[in-house]
Structure 1
Amino acid sequence: MKEFALRGFAGARVDAIARRARINKRMLYHYFGNKQELFEATIMAIQADKEELINTGPRDIADLLAYIHANVGGKRDWMRMMQWEALTYGDREVPAEAMRAELFKPSLERIRGFQREHGILGKETPELALLILIALASYPWLMPQVARMLTGHGPTEPQFRRIYAALLRRMVGYLTRP
């Protein structure tokens, strides 16, 4: 993941990945077939990690958003991987897209529950509701320079993290029907 996160798919080298993993390059090819399959396996591991983060977080939606934001900061490599994937594929289909889309189903069920219980984004489809909640929780980590330019603080700074967590908790109120 570190090699793909640093250089993207095109720039990553299998030799460097094997060195980082402290294994023989032939063994890497034995287990993963080729660089594309290794990249796809890495993306799948990231997707599973994201789903676990969402599904094991606090039950309260306001606390969940703040929790996701706080924990995404420690997952900078997989965020970079997602950015590389976005740059590489744009709006074209990504590797293992159908299988990866299935991994969102538990999160979509959780969103449906939040919509029933709290009315959060109740007029939106669960898919769009989840998309906007993920965007709210992750944007400062994806674009730290914008966060810093707008607030004077980057997302790693305790002051920013405190005020942004409070904002995310308030956002739940804004997104809930009266």
Structure 2
Amino acid sequence: MTDKSVTRNSLLAAAREEFAAYGIAGARVDRIAANAGVSKERIYGHFGSKDKLFEAALAEAQAEYQTKFGSPGDDPLEYVGRIYDVHHSHPQLLRLLLWEALHHGDEALPEADARIANYQDKISKFAASLGIPADRRAAMLFVSLIGLAAWTAAVPQTTQLMLAAMPEAGEPDMRDMVLELAAGILDRERAT
């Protein structure tokens, strides 16, 4: 690996941590550079701007997480479980996506076409596993199940507060509850 690629990889790793913790507006390039062990000029030399560094860090995180999530494959319920497990054990991507949403709002996202194509592929595989058309309804179902799997990782404090008032009485844990709900949704879709 060349010095240039080592520097780039160090910057991306430090940027992912910084952006996940502070968002785009709160992240500091001097902190990213210090954590990467380089001068902040290296950030601009490699990426051009803090926004471009965020885009690169998010793209790298998405590529890494694609291998963790895998494909919906033949078992969409197992996929929902993987989404739940990955987001709860490695929340960095989810945090980056939330910061991206806060930063960009409704405006067009950079590199949207590649991301749309990736999601279309996943939705097609998901729909095929259920034997339903890969249409807008399948996409909305996919988004809903991802949301169900990821939401408690997105707002762990709210989840803790809601559950704190209710003593445990042998109920399933949160993951089991998410999968139970997802199974019911998937069974209903298969039947229609």
TM-score, with normalisation over the residues of structure 2? 0.75
How far 1:5 sits from its partner (Å)? 1.2
CA change 1:162–1:57 in 2 (3 A) is same
Q: Which runs of 5+ in 1 are unaligned?
A: none
- Other-structure match for 1:68: 83
For 1:173, the equivalent position in structure 2 comes to: 187
**Structure 1 residues 22, 62: CA separation in 2 closer, same or farther (over 3 Å shift)?**
same
RMSD of aligned alpha carbons: 2.7
- Which residue of 1 is the match for residue 7 of structure 2? none
3-state SS in 2 of match to 1:125: helix
| Cα distance per residue 1:29-72 (max 9 Å; x no partner) | 22212211111101212332343333346641111111211111
Aligned partners of 1:162, 1:133: CA distance in 2, in Å? Answer: 14
Whether the aligned pair in 2 keeps the contact of 1:112 and 1:126 (CA below 8 Å) is yes
For residue 73 of structure 1, give the secondary structure of its aligned residue in structure 2: helix
Within 2, Cα distance between the matches of 1:77 and 1:92?
23
How many angstroms apart in 2 are the aligned matches of 1:136 and 1:145? 16
State the percentage of identical aligned residues: 26
- Relative contact order: is structure 1 or structure 2 higher (C-alpha 8 Å, sep ≥ 6)? 1
Aligned: 1:135 with 2:137: no
Superposed CA offset, 1:145-164 (max 9, x none): 333344348xxxx9333443
Unmatched runs of 5 consecutive residues or more in structure 2: 1-15, 167-171
The one-letter amino acid of 1:63's match is E
Which residue number in structure 2 is paired with residue 107 of structure 1?
122
1:19 to 34, 37, 43: 34
CA distance in 2, matches of 1:20, 1:86: 25
Q: Which amino acid aligns with 2:80?
A: L
In the alignment, is the contact (CA less than 8 A) between 1:57 and 1:64 conserved in 2? yes
State how many pairs are aligned. 171
**Aligned residue identity for 1:91:** D
TM-score by length of 1: 0.80
> 1:62–1:168: 8 Å Cα contact kept in structure 2?
yes
Q: Which structure: larger Rg?
A: 2
